[in-house]
A and B are shown apart, each in its own frame.
Chain A
Amino acid sequence: MFSEQVAPTAQGLLGPPSAQPPTFPRVPVLGYSDCSGPFRLGERSFGRQYAHVYAVRLAGMRPTLGNDAVLRKLSELQVGEKCCVVGTLLLQPSILQEISEEHNLVPQPPLPKYIQPSDELILEDELQRIKLEGAIDVQRLVTGTIVAVYGSEQDDGRFLVEDHCFADLPPPLPWNGPTSDRFVLLASGLGLGSGSGEALLSTQLLVDVVTGQLGAEGEQSCAAHISRVILAGNLLSQNTQSRDTINKAKYLTKKTQAASVEAVKMLDEILLQLCTSVPVDVMPGEFDPTNYTLPQQPLHRCMLPLASPYATLHLVTNPYQANLDGVRFLGTSGQNVSDIFKYSSMDDYLEILEWTLLAGHISPTAPDTLGCYPFYKSDPFILTECPHVYFCGNAPRFQSKLLQGAEGQRVLLVTVPDFSTTQTACLVNLRNLTCQPITFSGFGDEDED
């Protein structure tokens, strides 16, 4: 994508200075509309219970599920009758952890995965719940998923599942993509403030490529086709969290400044460099100074005094949805996927991403294991339309896949890797929905890569 076009002029800058080096104009934004309205919280009242979230979720997704077979509510079930029930899945975890907490035993260390073979699945609808067994993989599924199961109730009160299905891909959106090459750069996990020098040079190289300072003429002209940069969360590193100051005595920490202050200053400078050259969308992530619960609200512009005057800077929510040049983007900073990773046997971030798309919900584990705002009117995480590009940030490595749906949907799934560890970002070509990773490196030690 990038390289083939530019190869001829690759060595062009190895020579005496030319008279008038070309300046390439950045491709103008064809169309941009921010569709993350549902993710912005207006009034925030936490006085409600979370049960409403599940209720609206079920109500919202019930219509999309199970129209063929006999549809029953749980309260209407009769033993032995094959029918279809729609409800919310509840994964009942093993109770050992709860016991240990009760008896003040040594708390369990944080595990990468919290699944156990002894977990059970329970289906719950508006009124009742029932245990599930049968052709359903307990380990794969997570709490909060809306599912339709087909089977019958047993004598012992359990439901024997013969088949189950999810909401499947939402209806497709019309395609208005550009006809010429346009790129969107996806990067996440810049991890500023971590004190690692190598990553800083790579970040600077990234900024230089995008702003057209690096590279030969061909590469710069290609970089001019980058119409947008999306930074998908974790702009600050985990080291800036300074959680241990909570445990220290106040007189020790009173005069010290939070580590995130310096990191945000660095971020401001980097954003300024980017904003003078390309529109940037900044999504908050797990370690960024914004609220913890999903949907995370945009970073406040007072933190970025240098960059915020520029109209090219957009501070957006997490999750983020927008129409860029006619292509619908939807993505998160990765908290939803990593949470599912912890509570399910699925190991592959791309697989999890695909699964959430098929389940029709961005983040089913909220609010059970992932912090979430107590919605009561509607659940904004339900996927009502199928995006063209669906991404998640802060993945361990880069992966991408083009998914074709039965109704003609085409979705590009991208797991954006964590930049501070992999020094890799992604370039999405909007014309043909392909994605290419772009890696940066300096030279530190003697190894080649």
Chain B
Amino acid sequence: MADELYLENIDEFVTDQNRVVTYKWLSYTLGVHVNQAKQMLYDYVERKRKENSGAQLHVTYLVAGNLLQNGHMCHKVAVVREDKLEAMKSKLSTIASVHVYSIQKALLKDSSPLYNTDYDIVKTNLHNCSKFSAIHCDAAVPRMPPDIPRAQTSLQGSSQRENDTGAPSAPAVNGHGPPAAKHPSQQHKGIMGMFAAKAASKPQDTNKETKAEASGVSTASSKPPTKNNIINNFFGKAAMNKLKVNPVPEQPKEEKEVVKPSVAVAEPESSPNPVVEKPGKRTESARIQQKDRKSKTKHVDRSDNEEERDPENAKRKRKRIKQLQSDSSDEEADIPPPPTPEEEKAPSPPPVTALKTELEPATMEVSAGGRKRKRKRVLKSKMFIDEEEGCMVTEKVYESESCTDSEEEFPKPKPPAAHKQPVLPMKKEPKEERKSLKKGAAPANRANKQVSIMGFFHKK
């Protein structure tokens, strides 16, 4: 019977999933009128208590009514726990309404879980937040239809259904509005994917790293993973510093993406790897889709590779902004930044820095022993337009490893000194320099200062 169905649903939500079930949450989840949801909750409580008087159910109620306060007849609306219900009712001179507000298994200390539940469910349903309400307003129609899909898509984030309806009509109208709005939704997935990929790849890479070091074998296999580590270093550091748009970390990031599929092709070594690649591929395809619809591109005059990468850069930039903005928010947790990237970012810098330090001595000992060991970092010259400075930037990301660990910080001290170099004009982002300088300088100083200077001259 349909009636029993909702009872079962509520039962499942409360006991199995251990949720805080508010009337609003239930109304959106089951798609019913709010009043029906309230009545359903009440019914469930009654039945459950009749069946099993020891049921572990805590109920909060909403009480509203008149209260004489400060000489005024004040209308009070309060959410109270069950044990305070009667006390509140007795304080009010007239009771306007009483109904169940929420049911949960655990006793709530304060009302913030209630707020968070409601906030989350409203956030995912923002476009029809008055659908199940008891008041319907005729005047509340959006002025311009194209704005609805824009509002929808920018909010829906992970939910797919609205995107389908909204997406086709949106692109034509508002220039970069709808595609930009859609980007964040997909980019979230992309970012999550990348974070998941990165987190998964890191332990993987660590294993490969140590193996490679121990064996001293320089195969193509260990090359990308180590590069991934360094890339991850940049990426983690960048995220932690909450920097604004920085195309350079995105270069390595995307490099990792580009590399990872190739790695997958080269050698599906162990199980994490395919898992890593799948999100990578998914984000790639998502990005390629995005690229078609992207109407705003600041990058002109590129080579093929760059063309493909640069819109992605810009998109990545937007992704970055969105990601960083949500991360850099100092406000409280009711703004839900994607929790997963945060968690994954937090563990990422410590292992990243650990990796970094262990890379340093590794290169050191190898270089001391001779020039046999090849650091699998490929020197890649990337050209892109740097919006900040309005110029074309060619950048050397990694040195090929004929030299010592000084190579690592070698590219970085170089740019500040080498602005006049005609061959390879390198102008890195100042943050990038500082970051990498900081990172590279610290282990380098520990290691061998003289060596680094020599390396500088050799490089020249």
Q: How many residues of A contact B (CB 8 A)?
A: 86
Pick from B24, B67, B134, B335: contact of A21, CB below 8 A: B134
Task: Report B130-147 CB contacts with A as 1/0, cut-off 8 Å.
Answer: 101111111111111001
Are B135 and A224 interface neighbours, CB within 8 A? yes
Instruction: Report the Cα distance A1→B65, complex, angstroms.
Output: 11
- Which of chain A's residues have a CB closer than 8 A to the CB of B129? 211, 272-273, 276
* Contact digits for A336-349, partner B, Cβ 8 Å, 1 yes 0 no: 00000000000000
Q: Does the CB pair B329–A262 fall under 8 Å?
A: yes
Check if B314 is an interface residue, CB within 8 A of chain A: no
A381 interface residue (CB < 8 Å to B): no
The CA-CA distance from A377 to B296 in the complex, in Å, is 46
Question: In the complex the two chains form, is B136's CB within 8 Å of A205's CB?
Answer: no
Most chain A Cβ neighbours within 10 Å, of B84, B96, B108, B118: B96
Contact of A269 among B24, B126, B331 (CB under 8 A): B126
In Å, the complex CA distance between A306 and B147 comes to 8
Interface residue? A13 (CB, 8 A):
yes
B77 close to A25 (CB less than 8 A) = no
Q: A231-260 toward B: CB 8 Å interface, digit per residue (1/0)?
A: 000000000000000000000001111010
User: Which of B60, B78, B331 is the one whose CB lies under 8 Å from A259?
Assistant: B331
Contact B334 A309 (CB under 8 A): no
Q: Chain A residues near B38 (CB, 8 Å)? A: 13
Asked if B352 is at the interface (CB within 8 A of a chain A CB), the reply is no
Of the candidates B65, B67, B133, B334, the one whose C-beta lies within 8 Å of that of A277 is B133
Q: How far is the CB of B447 from chain A (nearest CB, A)?
A: 28
In the complex the two chains form, what is the Cα distance from A255 to B435 in whole Å?
A: 14
Q: How far is the CA of A441 from the CA of B115 in the complex (A)?
A: 12
Q: Given A16-B39, A216-B96: A26 and B135 within 8 A (CB)?
A: yes
B362 in the interface (beta carbon within 8 A) = no
Q: Is A77 an interface residue (CB 8 A)?
A: no
Q: CA of A293 to CA of B110 in the docked complex: distance in angstroms?
A: 40
Residues of the A chain whose Cβ atoms lie less than 8 Å from the Cβ of B151:
272, 305-306, 309
User: A258 vs B225: C-alpha distance in the bound complex, in angstroms?
Assistant: 37
Separation of A18 and B42 alpha carbons in the complex (Å): 12
Chain A residues, CB < 8 A from B39: 13-18
Interface residues of B in 157-209 (CB under 8 A from A): none
A257 touches B137 (CB 8 A): no
| CB neighbors of B among A18-38 (8 A) | 18, 21-26, 28-29
Interface window among B28-36, B279-287, B438-446: B28-36
Least Cβ–Cβ distance between A325 and chain B, in angstroms: 13
Interface residues in A188-203 by Cβ distance below 8 A to B read 193, 195, 197-198, 200-201
Question: Taking the complex as formed, is B437 at the interface, i.e. its CB lies under 8 A from any CB of chain A?
Answer: no
In Å, the complex CA distance between A259 and B332 comes to: 11
Nearest opposing residue in chain B for A201, CB measure: B115
Q: Interface-forming stretch among A2-10, A50-58, A352-360?
A: A2-10
Residue of B nearest to A254 (CB): B244
Instruction: Give A289 Cβ to nearest chain B Cβ, in Å.
Output: 16
- A125 — which chain B residues lie within 8 A by C-beta? none
Answer whether residue B95 sits at the interface, using C-beta atoms and an 8 A cutoff. Answer: yes
Chain A 309-342 per-residue mask, 1 if CB under 8 angstroms from chain B, else 0:
1111000000000000000000000000000000
Interface centre among A23, A269, A306, A442 (most CB of B within 10 A): A442
Q: Identify the stretch in A95-103, A130-138, A432-440 within 8 Å (CB) of chain B at 4 or more residues.
A: A432-440
- Asked whether any CB of chain A lies closer than 8 Å to the CB of B328, the reply is yes
Set of chain B residues within 8 Å of A415, measured between Cβ atoms? none
Residue ID in chain B nearest A22 by CB atoms: B134
| Chain-A contact segment, one of B68-76, B260-268, B305-313 | B68-76
Fill in one digit per residue for B95-118: 1 if any A CB lies within 8 Å of its CB, else 0.
111111000000010111011001
Contact partner of A219 (CB less than 8 A), chosen from B84, B97, B137, is B97
Count of chain B residues near A, Cβ 8 A: 90
Shortest CB-to-CB span from B292 to chain A, Å, is: 24
Pair A443/B138 contact, Cβ less than 8 Å: no
Asked if A440 and B77 make an inter-chain contact with CB atoms under 8 angstroms apart, the answer reads yes
Query: Distance (Å) between the CB of B122 and the closest chain A CB?
Result: 7
Contact with A along B341-353 (1 / 0, CB 8 A): 0000000000000
Residue of A211, A263, A397, A441 touching B133 (CB-CB under 8 A): A211
CB pair B35–A201 under 8 Å, yes or no, is: no
A11 contacts partner chain B, Cβ-Cβ < 8 Å? yes
Residue A223, interface by CB 8 Å: yes
Q: Are B134 and A24 in contact (CB under 8 A)?
A: yes
Please give, as numbers and ranges, the residues of chain A lying within 8 Å of B87 by CB-CB distance: 448
Given A212-B133, A276-B137, A2 contacting B96 (CB threshold 8 A):
yes
Per-residue B-contact encoding for A175-219, CB less than 8 Å = 1, 0 else: 000000000000000000101011011001100110111111111
Q: Which residues of B contact A (CB under 8 A)?
A: 3, 6, 23-24, 27, 32-36, 38-40, 42-43, 60, 62, 64-67, 69-70, 72-81, 84, 87-88, 91, 94-100, 108, 110-112, 114-115, 118-119, 122-123, 126, 128-130, 132-144, 147-148, 150-151, 154-155, 241-244, 325, 328-332, 334-335, 431
9 A-B pairs with least C-beta separation: A212-B135, A442-B111, A216-B97, A309-B147, A13-B99, A26-B137, A21-B35, A309-B142, A212-B134
Interface of A with B (CB < 8 Å)?
Answer: 1-4, 6-7, 9-11, 13-18, 21-26, 28-29, 193, 195, 197-198, 200-201, 204-205, 208-209, 211-221, 223-224, 254-257, 259, 261-263, 265-266, 269, 272-273, 275-279, 305-306, 308-312, 397-398, 424, 427, 436-445, 448
23 contacts between A and B (CB under 8 A): A7-B95, A14-B99, A16-B39, A16-B42, A17-B40, A195-B331, A208-B24, A213-B23, A219-B96, A255-B243, A256-B328, A257-B329, A262-B329, A266-B335, A278-B137, A306-B126, A309-B151, A311-B139, A438-B75, A442-B114, A442-B115, A443-B60, A443-B81
> 13 extra interchain contacts, Cβ-Cβ under 8 A, other than A209-B77, A213-B27, A306-B155?
A10-B65, A17-B6, A17-B39, A17-B40, A26-B135, A197-B112, A197-B334, A211-B130, A255-B242, A257-B329, A276-B130, A277-B140, A306-B154
